[in-house]
Amino acid sequence: MTTKLRVTVIRKFSPEEIFGHEIMRDGKPLQPCGHKEGEEFIVDHHLDRPKDFCGQAWQDLYTTLMIYHFGGDYNYPEPGVTYQPCGDGMRTVIFKIEKI
């Protein structure tokens, strides 16, 4: 059994929000993640990474996507819906994953 999934960007955090100051990389301030709050992606039966979806975030969400894709569920906070952050601790993004 396969399920279509919607992945929505719920909240993104800047380095300043996480650490209270800028984080520098190569002498420049580290920029927030390129995703936009409210941005939605539909994941079909192939489980291919959507165009323009962050590769690191996709890798971090993939296990949850697989569980839902094949009929499993976390049932938290409700059946067919869960929230998961990407693992980028410098500019974290919270995603909502839901069966549709």
**E strand or H helix at 61, and its extent?**
helix 55-69
- Listed as ranges, residues in the chain with pLDDT below 50 are none
**E strand or H helix at 78, and its extent?**
none
Total residues belonging to the chain: 100
Phi, psi for 15 (deg, rounded to 5): -55, -35
pLDDT given for residue 45 in this prediction: 79
Nearest to 40 by CA among 7, 18, 10: 7
